């Protein structure tokens, strides 16, 4: 996997494209072009990954397009 | 290693960014190797985090047995009361287009809500010279001699 390509491609997605996944845990394709699975919780995401039998992915999170985050990962 | 800084679009202009509508987040793709599986995750480069911390659900996913783990407590912005944290060894790997670093680390797993896992100091940033340049939109990490490198695949 090319980490830099992944980050650049993830950053190309518009707010409209990401809207359905806001505040959800997601499994990105390794090139960052596609969201392969999503879930409101990590456990739900894992279930979806298993249901789809995904093998190659990067787990991430789509932050709200309306919220400012204080910092850290815990809120 | 050099990584681009991730960009997330916002719906409305951001007053503190003089009307820009993109938030920058210092995320790194980190490979986490456990006893039975590995997982590639976006983690937040966080100099304010004492430890590397993952959600507890991930532990079982990669085969980390937390039954005999050393326990502790942690607080963060918005947590209010301390939340439990369990520590266990894993192997971590970072790589960009030209370099790969794999090392052993003891990391925390927590049931506290995490949007992004934290790539904090202990076991992580302590081993790198770290520079974040938001003008050039780059995270630069230079491995130090203290990095406990390994080629192992199992912690």
What ipTM was assigned to the predicted interfaces of this complex? 0.94
pLDDT digits (tens, 9 = 90+) for B19-38: 999 999 999 999 999 999 99
Nearest to B94 by CA among B47, B52, B50: B52
Q: Give the per-residue pLDDT at A75.
A: 43
DSSP SS3 for A5: helix
Beta strands in B26-123 (DSSP E): 27-33, 38-45, 53-55, 70-74, 83-95, 100-110, 118-119
Q: The whole model's pTM is what?
A: 0.95
Partner-chain contact B8 A75, CB within 8 Å: no
Taking the C-alpha atoms of residue B90 and residue B116, their distance in angstroms, rounded to an integer, is 18
Q: Is the pLDDT of residue B16 over 90?
A: yes
Taking the C-alpha atoms of residue B19 and residue A1, their distance in angstroms, rounded to an integer, is 34
Phi and psi at residue A63, in whole multiples of 5°? Answer: -70, 155
Q: Mean pLDDT throughout B88-94?
A: 98
Q: Give the per-residue pLDDT at A72.
A: 64
Residues 56-115 of chain B whose Cβ lies under 8 A from any Cβ of chain A = 57-58, 61, 76-79, 83, 95-97, 110, 112-115
Q: Give the per-residue pLDDT at B97.
A: 87
Partner-chain contact B40 A30, CB within 8 Å: yes
Task: List, in sequence order, every residue forming a beta bridge with B25; answer none if it has no partner.
Answer: B6
Q: Give the per-residue pLDDT at B112.
A: 86
Burial B105-138 (b: 16+ CB within 10 A, else e): bebbbbebebbbbbbbbbbbbebbebebeeeebe
Could you tell me how many CB contacts below 8 A there are between chain A and chain B?
Answer: 113
Partner-chain contact A15 B11, CB within 8 Å: yes
Q: Is the pLDDT of residue B96 over 60?
A: yes
Q: Nearest residue on chain A to B138, judged by CA atoms? A: A4
Q: Give the per-residue pLDDT at A21.
A: 98
Task: List, in sequence order, every residue forming a beta bridge with A35; answer none if it has no partner.
Answer: A28
Largest CA distance in chain B: 50
Is pLDDT larger for residue A67 or for residue A5?
A: A5
pLDDT digits (tens, 9 = 90+) for A35-75: 999 999 999 999 999 999 999 999 999 999 998 888 765 54
A8 interface with B at CB cutoff 8 Å: yes
Length of chain A: 75
A11 interface with B at CB cutoff 8 Å: yes
Mutate to test the interface with A, among B9, B47, B97 (most CBs of A within 10 A): B9
Partner-chain contact B4 A11, CB within 8 Å: yes
Q: Mean pLDDT throughout B48-69?
A: 96
């Amino acid at each position: 996997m090319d980490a830099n390509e992944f980050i650049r491609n993830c950053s190309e997605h518009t707010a409209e494209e990401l809207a359905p996944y806001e505040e959800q845990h997601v499994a990105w394709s390794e090139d960052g072009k596609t969201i392969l699975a999503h879930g409101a919780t990590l456990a739900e995401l894992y279930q979806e990954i298993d249901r789809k039998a995904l093998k190659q992915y990067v787990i991430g999170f789509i932050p709200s397009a309306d919220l400012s985050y204080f910092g850290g990962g815990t809120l | 290693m050099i990584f681009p800084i991730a960009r997330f679009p916002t719906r409305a202009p951001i007053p503190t960014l003089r009307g820009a509508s993109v938030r920058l987040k210092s995320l790194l793709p980190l490979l986490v190797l456990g006893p039975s599986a590995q997982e590639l995750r976006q983690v937040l480069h966080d100099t304010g985090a004492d430890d590397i911390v993952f959600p507890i659900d991930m532990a079982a996913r990669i085969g980390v047995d937390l039954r005999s783990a050393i326990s502790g407590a942690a607080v963060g912005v918005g947590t209010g009361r301390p939340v439990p944290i369990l520590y266990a060894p894993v192997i971590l790997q970072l790589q960009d287009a030209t370099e790969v670093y794999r090392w052993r680390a003891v990391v925390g797993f927590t049931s506290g809500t995490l949007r992004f896992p934290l790539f904090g100091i202990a076991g992580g940033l302590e081993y790198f010279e770290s520079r974040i340049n938001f003008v050039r939109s780059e995270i630069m990490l230079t491995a130090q001699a203290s990095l406990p490198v390994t080629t192992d695949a199992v912690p």
